[in-house]
Amino acid sequence: MPSLGSQMIEARLIQWLVKPGDTVKRGDIIGEIDTEKGLIDIEVFEDGVVTELVSEEGEVIPVGSVMAVIDGEDEGEKAKAKLASPPEEPEKKEPRKKREKAATPPEQPETASREVPLHRVKASPLARRVAEDLQVDLSKVKGSGAEGTIHKKDVEAFAKQKAADETFEKELDMAEHLSAAGTGGMRQAIAAAMSRSNREIPHYYLETEIDMKVPLDWLNEQNKERAVSDRLLPPMLLIKAVANVLTELPALNGFWTDEAMHVEEGIHIGFAIALRQGGLVIPAILNADLKSLEETRSAFVDMVMRAREGHLRSREISSATITVTSLGERGADKVYGVIYPPQVALVGFGKIAKRPQTVDGAIGIRPTLSVVLAGDHRASDGHTGSRFLEKLNEQLQHPEAL
């Protein structure tokens, strides 16, 4: 069972889309699971042949459990042959399969786990004593001292984080129960994530108003030559612009975990999609910085459609490195968002509307857009945030370059 987010602990298997003997390729959809984020397609990350479906449809499966066994490519032929002639060597028990693969990313090969790392944990005597008292595994603690030496404060910070995570998990547990009782798991999941955010993330907010005349004119020009279904919409432009800016300001792209900022290389822009039945999902446009505007457009359209149908892929809802939210044309003027942990920033776009604006020293009526950046002050400072807004404006004033 793949983990689709730090807070997910289990999910229900709705149906298998493969059967033993099927050949699967990386990226294939092999089943559907029901999570608090809605129905999600399970992707497979390895090429091979399905030899066994361990989980049954309808079963609730904890994250990390083996759901199916896939023989890797090199063993694929053998497996096929074996399946084709089942009576062969019936009593000779096959040694435990070397490479069991479910839809989870591959685990460490067995040989690696036998090699005990030679470097020992450097911790002060007091840190060791405190770790024992607080039942903290020192090998998991990141030391703040010279050469990564662990001091008392590191252990205490780790224990605090652990306790917070456990509280969070408990809340989610409760959410699961409530979900089972039919009170809306997604609502509870949102409640848990947002409570955690409010509890742990010191938010700062920076706001700016962007003149949208140039980008909107450019969009209109582009759309003249396009079919209705192929039209470029402002959110696509905004997502692409955010992705471009993040290549220059990596401090806003990543996760705050273990008391430190972890910048992510890939830029995966999550965008909030409200569902008709209530609640919302935040799928991500993966590697948005590497996509052209056209690719961003098609990814966007495809994803909105699949989100509403409940056919998002696991990777899409677990990978976002930053979130963008826009309440659309009928939405509010400004959006002060709540960061989705462990992400460190959220960009809120208000509605684009005609507003008085200073143009060339006089008052003019222009389409403007309010952008509010919510930043995690542990991971970045207002200076970085300001530069983000400034660069975003620059990007949007040159839509042809997006």
Partner 1 sequence: MNKAAQQHMTYRQAVREAMREAMQKDDRVFLMGEDVGRYGGCFNVSEGMLQEFGEDRVVDTPLSESGFTGCGIGAAAAGMRPIVEIMTVNFSLLAADQIINTAAVLYYMSGGQFNVPVVIRMATGGGKQLAAQHSRSLENWYAHIPGLKILTPATVEDARGMLWPALEDPDPVLIFENSTLYNYEDAYSGNGHTVDISTARVRRAGSDVSILTYGIGLHKSLKAAEQLSKQGIEAEVVDLRVLRPLDNETVFASVRKTHRAVIVDEGWKSGGISAELSARITESLFYDLDCPVERVCGAEVPAPYARHLEQASLPQPQQIIETIQKMGGIHG
Structure tokens at 193: 């994530």
Q: Does residue 161 bind partner 1 (CB under 8 A)? A: no
* Residue 153 touches partner 1, criterion: CB under 8 A: yes
Residue 145 or 331 with smaller CB distance to partner 1:
145
CA distances from 8 to 5, 19, 169, 344, 383 (A): 6, 26, 8, 19, 34
Q: Please give the full DSSP string across 293-341, using - where no structure is assigned.
A: HHHHHHHHHHHHHHHHHT-EEHHHHH--SEEEEE--TTS-S-------T
Give the single-character DSSP code of 123: B
Which residue among 99, 151, 311, 355 contacts partner 1 (CB under 8 A)? 151
Pick the binder of partner 1 from 125, 182, 202, 278 (CB under 8 A): 125
Site for partner 1 contains 129 (CB under 8 A) = yes
Pick from 253, 305, 265: which is nearest to 281 by CA?
305
Chain centre to alpha carbon of residue 9? 15
Distance in Å, CB of 264 to partner 1, minimum: 29
Stretch that binds partner 1, among 108-116, 122-130, 168-176, 363-371 (CB under 8 A): 122-130
Q: Could you give the 3-state DSSP secondary structure of residue 86?
A: coil
Instruction: Rank residues 30 and 136 by Cβ distance to partner 1 and give the closer one.
Output: 136
Question: By C-beta, is 95 or 125 nearer to partner 1?
Answer: 125
Start-to-end C-alpha separation, the chain: 38
Q: How far is the CB of 155 from partner 1 (least distance, A)?
A: 10
Chosen residue from 20, 72, 76, 145 binding partner 1 by CB under 8 A: 145
154 is a site residue for partner 1 (CB under 8 A):
yes
Taking the complex as a whole, how short is the minimal distance between the CB of residue 226 and partner 1, in angstroms?
59
Taking a C-beta distance cutoff of 8 angstroms, is the pair 344, 375 a contact?
yes
Number of residues that bind partner 1 (CB under 8 A): 14
Residues at the interface with partner 1 (CB under 8 A): 124-129, 144-146, 149, 151-154
